[in-house]
Structures are given as C-alpha cells and as structure tokens.
Amino acid sequence: VWAHVAAGETLGDVGEFAFLDRVLPGLPQGLQVLVGPGDDAAVLDLLGTQVVVCTDVLVEGSHFRRDWSSAHDVGRKAVAVNVADVAAMGARPVAVLAGVAAPGDLAVDWLVDLARGLRDEAGAAGCSLVGGDTVAGPAVSVTVSALGVLDGPAVTRAGAQPGDVVALCGRLGYAAAGLAVLQRGFRSPRALVDAHRCPTPPYAAGPQAAAAGATAMIDVSDGLLADLGHVAAASSVAIRLVESAVTVEAPIEAMARGLGADPRAWVFGGGEDHALAACFRPGTDLPTGWTDIGEVAEGSGVSVDGWDELPVGLASSGGYQHFA
C-alpha cells in the first residue's frame, strides 16, 4: 500500500485529494465491511443492517471563503456534500456529525449560524445532527460525517454493464459558473452564486435509483466527465454521452455568453453541484427526475459524441485527466 508514495514527496506534490485515495483502498478490512474505501461511501453490515458512512473536510480558503459564503452556507454545504455521497450509494440518509476547528477570536455568532446551517441542511435531507466537537485551530474547517441505511444492495461505481442507459438527476455547471462569477468580483446572478455557496443535491433520487435497479451510481462532485470516468474505470466499461441530451440551462448559457466562456466546460467539467449520475439496465423506466444522457459500451473511458476537440477550459479542468 505505502509503496505508492515516493520518498521526499509533499502533500502538494501528490495532490491533496489523492493521498488517502491512494493509501486507504489497500488496507485490510473486517468482515463487516461490505464496501471499503474508494467508492462514494463505505458500507458496513452491522448485525444485518447495511449502514453507509463517509466523511469530507471543508477548509476555509480551499472550499469556501468567509467573504463569499455565510456561515449558514458553509454549514449547509458541509452537510450537503456528505449526504450526497450517502445518497449516491442508494442509501437513505439518517444522521450527521460535525467536527469544527475555528480560531479563538471567531465570533460565536458565526458559529451559531454555522450550526444552524448544519441543522437546516440535515433537516432538508431527512437527517438528525447527532453530535460534534469544536476545537480551537488556526483556520475554520468543518468535517462532517454522514450515515445512512440501505434497504437493498448498495449501488457502487463498479456495476455498470455494456448496454446500460446512463442517466442524470440534478444540476450541472451552476456551482462552477457561480465560482467564475465570484472570482470576477460579482455577487449575482444569485442562482449561480448560491449554487457555489451551497449545492442542492437530489438526495431522494439516490434511493429511488437503487429501487429502480441502478447498476452503478456516483455523486458528481469533480465534474461529469471526471466522475463518469470513475464509473467507467471501476466497471471496466466505456461510457458514451450524447451532448445534446445534457442540458445547458439558460442562466449558464447567458453567463457564458457574458464572460466569453464555453458553457460546456462548466457543464461537463464543473464540480460541486452534486448531481447524481447512474446506470440502469436498458428498458428501465427511469424514476422521476432522471434523464437519459448516454449509454454504456464495451471498452474504457468517457466520450461525448460530436466532440472532435475538448471545449475551451475543459482541457485544464479536473475533468480532463479522466476524459479519454
């Protein structure tokens, strides 16, 4: 396991997100672990109940800025990104825990607003905020862990089969467009900026997809192409998207025109909207809210029909490295 890391490398060299991803999947796991590290969440068999668990850290400066997002936004986002991972396994979210580090001179009002955000998004997802810890530290960080329960088998990234329909539920490109707006010093349009501040994952769509027999599912957090690349790799299949089936919604189209950007870079490459993407056996009646956007084939990688070259901006985004 540890051999994947070369001597003398720093965290910056290997990429912050890569470290535990490299190390954890090689660890031995107990008999109760049905799905270990490497998927959206782990799945445990606890005396016959399948429990789904995951954790994500948000750090000020990397994941939010206090001048762009309210404490309430940060609390909601910290819950949303975790509960979306639980839903992406097909599980019903039940509970979240929060570990908060913050400077000693931070106003308690900010923390109260953070706690309200944690509570509100937990409530929106049908969860309880059951515990937490607050400590003094040099920057604000919020680590949420989320738990859910499965009524049937977990839907991992690894079950897609040639012939499956690829479907999407939720928004794409809003958070990336909102970030572009904020980076240029604007605070509107609200639909985009708010999407960066806090995603609105379609929590219920996860268990609904599982009940409809989804063969694979993923939370779209790194970008559609990047995340479907994870599904393609885990399932040893190719995924072929139909560009015209992936809607570029009006606020994104308009903002891209205003900024001279290619909206496809946000829609296909932008992360943080936490839509769900899933594969279904051909002929499945897709649950409400899901749209057919492509198909699974023999082979590897993700392709988009009609693209002879990558949209501007996508080549340098996180999506590109998985686009092949």
Residues 108-167 contacting its own copies, CB under 8 A: 108-109, 111-112, 115-116, 119, 126-139, 141, 143, 145, 147, 149
Min dist CB 93 to its own copies, Å, is: 10
CA–CA separation, 156 vs 11, rounded Å? Answer: 28
Min dist CB 174 to its own copies, Å, is: 22
Q: Which tokens sit at 93? A: 């979210």
CB-neighbour burial class of residue 239 (10 A; exposed 0-12, middle 13-18, buried 19+): buried
Size of the site for its own copies (CB under 8 A): 85
The nearer residue to its own copies, 145 or 200, going by C-beta atoms, is 145
The nearer residue to its own copies, 102 or 165, going by C-beta atoms, is 102
Classify 80 as helix, strand or coil. Answer: helix
Min dist CB 26 to its own copies, Å, is: 10
Q: 40: closest CA among 97, 85, 103? A: 85
Contact at 8 Å (CB) between 35 and 89?
A: yes
Classify 283 as helix, strand or coil. Answer: coil
CA–CA separation, 68 vs 224, rounded Å? Answer: 25
The nearer residue to its own copies, 37 or 189, going by C-beta atoms, is 37
The nearer residue to its own copies, 15 or 299, going by C-beta atoms, is 15
Contact at 8 Å (CB) between 242 and 293?
A: yes
CA–CA separation, 43 vs 91, rounded Å? Answer: 10
Q: Which tokens sit at 125? A: 């997802």
Q: 272: closest CA among 179, 181, 187, 140? A: 179
CA–CA separation, 200 vs 76, rounded Å? Answer: 9
The nearer residue to its own copies, 52 or 248, going by C-beta atoms, is 52
| 217 near its own copies (CB under 8 A) | no
The nearer residue to its own copies, 6 or 250, going by C-beta atoms, is 6
The nearer residue to its own copies, 52 or 167, going by C-beta atoms, is 52
Q: At what angle do helices 250-259 and 174-183 cross, to 10 degrees?
A: 30
Choose one: 8-16, 210-218, 259-267, 309-317; the region binding its own copies (CB under 8 A): 8-16
Min dist CB 203 to its own copies, Å, is: 14
Min dist CB 157 to its own copies, Å, is: 14
Taking CA atoms, 201 is separated from 7, 15, 84, 124, 275, in Å, by 39, 26, 6, 10, 6
The interface with its own copies within residues 187-216 (CB under 8 A) comprises none
Min dist CB 220 to its own copies, Å, is: 17
The nearer residue to its own copies, 21 or 305, going by C-beta atoms, is 21
Min dist CB 84 to its own copies, Å, is: 14
- x-or-dash string of contact with its own copies, 65-104, rule CB under 8 A: -----------------------------xx-xxxxxxxx
Q: 142: closest CA among 132, 152, 151, 150? A: 132
The interface with its own copies within residues 10-69 (CB under 8 A) comprises 10-14, 16-21, 23-24, 27-30, 32-33, 36-37, 41-42, 44, 46-49, 51, 53-63
The interface with its own copies within residues 228-267 (CB under 8 A) comprises none
Beta strands 275-280 and 165-169: pairing type? antiparallel
